[in-house]
Chain A
Amino acid sequence: MTRPLIDVHAHFDHDRSGRSGWEAANVRRLEVGERAGITLHVASILGSWGHTSPTYFPSPEDVTYGNAAMRALQRAHPDRIRGYVAVNPNFTRHAVAEIERGLAEGMVGIKLGASRRASDPLLDPIAQLAAERGVPILQHAWQHRRREVPGQEISDALDLAALAARHPRAKFILAHIGGGGDWAHSLRALVGVPNVWVDLSGSGVDRGMLGLCVECVGVRRLLWGTDLTMDTGLAKLEHLGAMGCSEEDVERVRWQNAVEVFGAGVMSHE
């Protein structure tokens, strides 16, 4: 039997992203996933990826099109792909409607980029809906925001922890701890914040980062993922064993924690 491996932070592309090789890129992710043993890609499409509206400030039309493309991929690969509903909270009514529609059509979580800071009250209706529906919110984050960043209204772990405190029944995932920035800042900020999980994705493979993940949030709140670089995700997975994590703990990170966060239904194809 194949050992499950769930990538909680994947992305796909579509025909309106302005990228000529978008289909090949999607195929490549699935091919590499097959070789690497990824049994489920939980993925999002962020609007038009900047083509017709900014990646982190997508227009409602681009959000809708991207989510539809994500659902089409999920339908085409029911054994391999699940989708997050990506929304822009600045268009609150559209965001809520888009979430309702996406979940009704089988999507399994909500993706928030950097359209609005995570601590902002504008996110409350979305967090409330997530809690009611029992789906997690994957929040794009900069690991320690020390300044404003062009093209994003970026959040860090302190912002996400503030939102998580207002919505203790909702489940949140801090995106890509290896995605750049001071990961130690995020991990220290998430000590004792039980409803925020940490995804290990990102191109960063700093030595010491995984050890601090285990120390600060514990193996039970770690989720495996890749984001834009699958090689670094796999390296981090391999390193968990090398740093002395038990086989049981590695299984938790590989897939069991993800099933707890998304619900057993996420793997219902099996």
Chain B
Amino acid sequence: MSDGKSLTDHNALIGPFPFRRLPEPTPQRLLTEMDRLGIAAAWVGHLPSVFYRDAAAGNDELLAALEPHRKRLVPVPAVNPAYPGWEREVARAVAAGAPAVRSYPAHFGFDPAGPAMAALCAACAEAGLELVLTVRFEDGRQRHALDIAPDLIGAAVRATVRADSRVRLLVTAADRAFVEEVHFGSTPEEAARIRWDVSWIWGPPEDHLAHLFRTVGRERFVLGTHFPLRLPEAALTKLELTQ
């Protein structure tokens, strides 16, 4: 994470958010921010897909939007394993060269500890895709009255990593307590299959990230900005001050 030439943002999104205006949530703006901050590449999801009933339609939009920028912007499509045709979306992600897929149990309305998630975990493992889970999009204290999907909880991540012994997870927007709960509530083998992005972990002087580097292991963390919801420089500033 220290070499600017190889920096990859593992938690970027494009597209509007229904509960707050986001300035230019576009691939072009994302690239501008990446250039300004020295980020070489980004794993990019699609915010509207979180709220579409049919995530496949969102993937159409994501893949089309990123097509001109594929050298630096890598698509991470969304998969709703409780919706017909989801297996096709996994296959489409593989065909598009995606390293991962995203899923949102609370927003899609399926049990993160249930059979749909287990099936998705197996499919991701089979396809060699990492599964990206998102703890939150916004601070819980500022939600719109209609923004009622609960934050992901640690139990859901623990259940997911246990659902298939091969599945690899990337959990975004988790804070220190969440990381600790899941990491130390998992076997070492399970914990080794979970990566975390840094977007929601506090830097100095509380130094939650530095603490987690020591206790959980630096190798378990990746750069994630949570663009376009959060200022992308925040993740980099935190890393700089944590070095």
Contacts and interface: CB of A to CB of B under 8 A. Distances in A.
Judge: A and B partners, yes or no: yes
Interface of A: 25, 28-29, 32, 35-36, 142-144, 180-184, 203-208, 210-211, 228-232, 234-236, 238-239, 242
Contact of A228 (B36, B206, B228, B241): B206
Nearest to B24: A207
Interface string B182-214: 000000000000000000001111110000000
A234 B240 CA distance: 11
Contacts of A144: 142
**Residue among A144, A229, A238 facing the most chain B CB atoms (10 A cut-off):** A229
Given A29-B204, A238-B237, A242-B36, 12 more contacts: A25-B205, A29-B205, A180-B141, A182-B142, A184-B20, A208-B20, A228-B202, A229-B202, A230-B205, A231-B203, A231-B204, A232-B238
B229 A206 contact: yes
Nearest to B240: A231
Contacts of A184: 20
B204 A230 contact: yes
Given A143-B142, A181-B141, A235 B233 contact: yes
Contacts of A208: 20-23
Contacts of B139: 180-181, 204, 206
A208 B17 CA distance: 12
Nearest to A30: B205
Contacts of B142: 143-144, 180-183
B216 interface: no
Contacts of B141: 142-143, 180-182
26 contacts: A25-B206, A28-B205, A28-B207, A32-B241, A180-B141, A181-B139, A182-B141, A183-B142, A203-B202, A204-B139, A205-B234, A206-B20, A206-B231, A207-B23, A229-B204, A230-B205, A231-B202, A231-B237, A232-B234, A234-B241, A235-B233, A235-B234, A235-B237, A235-B238, A236-B231, A242-B36
B230 interface: yes
Q: Which 8 A-B pairs have the closest CB atoms?
A: A231-B203, A235-B234, A231-B238, A205-B234, A180-B141, A29-B205, A205-B231, A28-B205
Contacts, number: 89
Contacts of B233: 235, 238-239, 242
A234 B237 CA distance: 7
B22 A207 contact: yes
Contacts of A207: 22-23, 227-231
B15 to A, nearest CB: 13
Contacts of A238: 233, 237
Contacts of A25: 205-206
B201 to A, nearest CB: 10
Nearest to A182: B142
B203 A232 contact: yes
A183 B241 CA distance: 26
A142 B140 CA distance: 12
A3 B229 CA distance: 30
Contacts of A228: 202, 205-206
A160 B202 CA distance: 28
A25 B204 CA distance: 9
A98 to B, nearest CB: 26
A230 B203 contact: yes
B199 to A, nearest CB: 9
B133 to A, nearest CB: 21
Given A180-B141, A183-B142, A208-B21, A235 B205 contact: no
A206 B226 CA distance: 10
Nearest to B143: A182
Contacts of A143: 141-142
Contacts of B229: 206-207
Contacts of A36: 241
Contacts of A32: 204-205, 241
Contacts of B231: 205-207, 210, 235-236, 239
A141 B54 CA distance: 40
A20 to B, nearest CB: 14
Contacts of A181: 139, 141-142
